[in-house]
């Protein structure tokens, strides 16, 4: 009995002891875990504190050592308080990164003179070197460089383009694709060539570069099998206008494009096109993220109309303006030589923006009337363009007119027809102006000899001039640098004369842009042509919404 009792006591004691042990262990584990978590949190906070301290010290140091300029007056009504960076999406935040150090590769083909066949003679030697200038994360270009006294104190900033220290993609694994969409533009072939060369030569990629033929439809149309772009294939393409890949409007099919990207193991997609193309590019980027594809989508803004916002100028624009000079000179010769009352009309491109017409007018300085979509066309009366032309003809014996194809909606009406991309088709303003001038002169007892020149496609199919070729090279190289570093959903461009990366949503939000009818460009145009200004006066107290644009145009 005593033994039984004893053993019961022992069991109870044992149970109690075990329970106490479990509780103690649980409490100790909890305490240790909490302590561990707390110490981890403390370590993290300490690291953060150290990082911030270091940054503050660096900033203070920079402020201390910053020398004031040797000349200039310190003014107290112009400030920059805060800088808001337009960051591009970074694949390194969502996907494991190869984190490869970035070196510049030079590949040379060496010739072995004793080899008998061309194939044996070709051999490749590679030299690897360091970049002198690598761009750091927050290096930026200020967007709002025009500062007005006592006005805005903040500014947006763009990410500076250029090679980064580490690459997100291992070059050995990279397959890329290039596509050109929308209307033609001088320099397309230069961009295709330079992207291909940068991938193969600067980064020595191990995969292929596919050229997608005929715009977005080339991703899925069996008639348009992609072409493999090699260094040999692209060697001479920049000497010709147009695009060796072909282009088109319409044909965007997201699922089929994403299937192509998956099937060909594309990790970098370079999309060359205007605002419509960029909207498509961003949808491809979003689709890739949704499907979990580690793909960089980079845009290169192409627009003959110069209507992509924020960038200083689009590639090919200068070449187009240069090509338009030939037509304007012809128009002047026709006008001067054809009596009586010779008038030469040149119609230039510009669906909703008159940049080509305005810049060609300024460059030639031979134009008496320039009509653009942004400025209302008034035919008769005090500010009418027809009495102005008659005055010019009476003064100098002839007159030259430049008209943008999108001008004069207010006299011709808006067309409801659209093209395959959804862009509105335009009424024939050139022919309308010719007829209106002839009728106006007749009404006033005179005869006008009007010659009409429409050089439209000849202007955009010329090869890029030297300045545009250089610009195309910079755009292409920086698109490749951005993609290799792991940025996506971005476009490249020259902003405030520096190469930057821009997030596509920001770029397309205000594109296509148009010329500021109350800006300096239009003032210069009317200063040269001496035509009456038909831009309506701003209502008392109203602010011109274009007045605070980052890029003054």
Contacted entry of ligand FBP, ligand ADP, none for residue 283, CB cut-off 5 to 8 Å set by kind: ligand ADP
**Site membership for ligand FBP, residue 482 (CB under 6 A):** no
Nearest CB to ligand ADP, comparing residues 280 and 430: 280
Spatial separation of the C-alpha atoms in residues 508 and 310, rounded to whole Å: 10
Residue 196 has phi, psi (to 5 degrees) of: -60, -45
Give helix 317-337 / helix 466-485 axis angle, nearest 10°. 160
Question: Contact 404/420 with Cβ under 8 angstroms?
Answer: no
Between 143 and 214, CB nearer to ligand FBP? 214
| 188 touches ligand FBP by CB under 6 A | no
Binding mask 260-279 for ligand FBP (x = CB under 6 A): --------------x-----
| Residue 501, burial from CB neighbour count under 10 angstroms (0-12, 13-18, 19+) | buried
Q: How many CA atoms are closer than 13 Å to the CA of 364, on its beta-carbon side?
A: 28
* Cα separation, 298 vs 488, whole angstroms: 6
Q: Does 277 bind ligand ADP (CB under 6 A)?
A: yes
The CA-based angle 207-213-214, given to 5 degrees, is 155
- Say whether residue 489 binds ligand ADP (CB under 6 A): no
Tell the smallest beta-carbon distance from residue 183 to ligand FBP (Å).
3
Note whether 315 binds ligand ADP by CB under 6 A. Answer: no
309 binds ligand ADP (CB under 6 A): no
Residue 504 backbone zone (phi > 0: left; psi -120 to 50: alpha; other: beta): alpha
Q: Is 243 in the site for ligand ADP (CB under 6 A)?
A: no
Judged by beta carbon, residue 491 or residue 529, the one nearer ligand ADP is 491
Q: Please choose which of ligand FBP, ligand ADP, none residue 305 contacts, taking the beta carbon within 5 to 8 angstroms, the exact cut-off set by kind.
A: ligand FBP
Residue 216 makes contact with ligand ADP by CB under 6 A: yes
Instruction: Out of 226, 246, 251, 503, name the contact with ligand ADP by CB under 6 A.
Output: 251
CA proximity to 156, closest of 269, 309, 367: 309
Out of ligand ADP, ligand FBP, none, what residue 350 binds, judged by CB under 5 to 8 A for its kind, is ligand FBP
CA 133 to chain centre: 23
Would you name the residues annotated as active-site residues? 305
Helix/strand/coil for 159: strand
Number of other CB atoms surrounding residue 148 within 10 Å: 11
CA nearest to 494, candidates 266, 313, 225, 284: 313
Residue 463 engages ligand FBP in binding (rule: CB under 6 A): no
Smaller CB separation from ligand FBP, 250 or 505: 250
Per CB under 6 A, does 182 bind ligand FBP? yes
User: Do 211 and 192 meet the contact criterion of CB atoms below 8 Å apart?
Assistant: yes
If binding is defined by CB under 6 A, does position 350 make contact with ligand FBP?
A: yes
183 belongs to the binding site for ligand FBP (CB under 6 A): yes
Which spans of this chain sit near ligand ADP (rule: CB under 6 A)?
A: 181-183, 215-216, 249-252, 273-277, 279-280, 283, 303, 421, 423
Which spans of this chain sit near ligand FBP (rule: CB under 6 A)?
A: 182-183, 185, 274, 303-305, 349-351, 405, 419
């Amino acid at each position: 009995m005593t033994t039984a009792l004893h053993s019961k006591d022992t069991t109870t004691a044992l149970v109690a002891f075990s329970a106490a042990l479990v509780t103690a262990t649980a409490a100790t584990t909890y305490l240790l875990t909490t302590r561990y978590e707390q110490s981890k949190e403390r370590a993290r906070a300490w690291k953060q504190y150290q990082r911030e301290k270091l940054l503050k010290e660096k900033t203070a140091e920079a402020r201390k050592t910053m020398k004031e300029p040797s000349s200039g007056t310190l003014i107290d009504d112009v400030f920059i308080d805060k800088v808001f960076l337009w960051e591009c999406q970074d694949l390194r935040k969502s996907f494991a990164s190869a984190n490869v150090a970035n070196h510049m590769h030079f590949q040379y083909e060496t010739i072995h003179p004793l080899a008998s066949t061309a194939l044996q003679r070709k051999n490749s030697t590679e030299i690897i070197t360091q970049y002198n200038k690598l761009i750091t994360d927050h290096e930026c270009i200020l967007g709002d460089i025009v500062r007005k006294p006592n006005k805005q104190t903040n500014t947006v900033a763009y990410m500076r383009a250029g090679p980064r220290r580490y690459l997100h993609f291992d070059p050995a694994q990279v397959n890329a694709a290039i596509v050109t969409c929308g209307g033609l533009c001088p320099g397309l072939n230069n961009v295709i060539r330079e992207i291909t060369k940068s991938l193969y030569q600067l980064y020595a990629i191990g995969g292929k570069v596919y050229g997608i033929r005929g715009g977005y439809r080339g991703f899925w149309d069996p008639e348009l099998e992609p072409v493999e772009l090699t260094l040999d294939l692209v060697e001479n393409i920049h000497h010709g206008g147009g695009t060796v890949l072909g282009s088109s409007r319409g044909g965007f099919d997201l699922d089929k494009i994403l299937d192509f990207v998956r099937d060909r193991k594309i990790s970098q997609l370079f999309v060359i096109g205007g605002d419509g193309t960029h909207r498509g590019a961003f949808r491809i980027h979003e689709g890739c993220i949704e499907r979990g594809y580690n793909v960089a989508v980079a845009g290169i803004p192409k627009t003959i109309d110069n209507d992509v916002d924020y960038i200083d100028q689009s590639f090919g624009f200068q070449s187009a303006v240069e090509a338009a000079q030939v037509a304007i000179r012809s128009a002047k010769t026709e006008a001067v030589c054809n009596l009586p009352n010779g008038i030469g009309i040149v119609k230039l491109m510009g669906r909703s923006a008159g940049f080509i017409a305005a810049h060609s007018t300024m460059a030639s300085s031979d134009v008496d009337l320039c009509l653009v979509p942004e400025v209302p066309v008034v035919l008769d009366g005090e500010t009418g363009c027809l009495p102005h032309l008659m005055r010019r003809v009476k003064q100098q014996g002839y007159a030259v007119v430049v008209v943008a194809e999108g001008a004069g909606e207010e006299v011709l009406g808006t067309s409801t027809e659209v093209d395959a991309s959804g862009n509105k088709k335009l009424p024939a303003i050139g022919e309308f102006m010719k007829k209106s001038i002839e009728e106006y002169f007749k009404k006033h007892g005179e005869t006008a000899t009007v010659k009409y020149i429409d050089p439209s496609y000849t202007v955009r199919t010329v090869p890029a001039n030297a300045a545009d070729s250089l610009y195309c090279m910079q755009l292409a190289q920086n698109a490749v640098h951005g993609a290799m570093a792991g940025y996506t959903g971005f476009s490249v461009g020259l902003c405030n004369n520096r190469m930057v990366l821009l997030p596509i949503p920001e770029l397309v939000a205000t594109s296509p842009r148009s010329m500021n009818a109350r800006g300096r460009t239009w003032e210069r145009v009317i200063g040269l042509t001496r035509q009456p200004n038909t831009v309506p006066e701003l209502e008392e107290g109203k602010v011109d919404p274009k007045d605070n644009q980052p890029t003054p145009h």
